[in-house]
Amino acid sequence: MLIEDDPESGYRAKIILLKDDGYTVPEIRKITNHHDNNIRKWIHRFNEKGIEGIISKIHKHKSIKFTDSVKKQIVEIATKNPRKHYGLPFSTWSLRVLAGFIMKEMKLVDSISHAEIRNILLKHGIRWRKSKMVLENSKDPDYDIKKVH
């Protein structure tokens, strides 16, 4: 595969050229709008493997199929309050924490990503939003009443 055939490799080549021109990683970030860690990763790969290090590889990820029963259990867990039903120290799930809980505590599956969980929930009509930090030790005398509503 040539760099011209792969727009991602073109971005990576630009990073390498900017580094070669003496730009620092923070300067390259401002120019390319890529994360510092990714910039460093592509510079290191180029230094180790040359041009082959920045060319995208075609990944053939094995799609993990979950049974309807497992999907139903994931939905049930996700829709329950973790504090009330599982004795956990928080009242809302994050997708990453839910993935870990499903694998390690419930042992429903050997491996599942937060993205796969999000897709399962979306297919079951559940829209996920980021959890908010909840203040537990508020000095507000009406905190418990407000928390419920």
Blockwise average pLDDT, block size 10, the chain, 149 residues: 64 93 95 91 94 77 80 95 92 91 93 89 82 60 68
| pLDDT in the model for residue 127 | 80
Task: Go through 4-41 and write b for each residue having 16 or more CB atoms within 10 A of its CB, e for each that does not.
Answer: eebeebeebbbbbebbeeebebeebbeebebeeeebee
Same domain membership, residue 39 and residue 16: yes
Same domain membership, residue 109 and residue 83: yes
In a domain, 59, yes or no: no
List the domain range (segments joined by +) for residue 49.
3-53
Domain count, the chain: 2
Please say which residue of 53, 76, 95 terminates a domain.
Answer: 53
Same domain membership, residue 114 and residue 72: yes
| pLDDT in the model for residue 1 | 46
In a domain, 95, yes or no: yes
pTM surpassing 0.85?
no
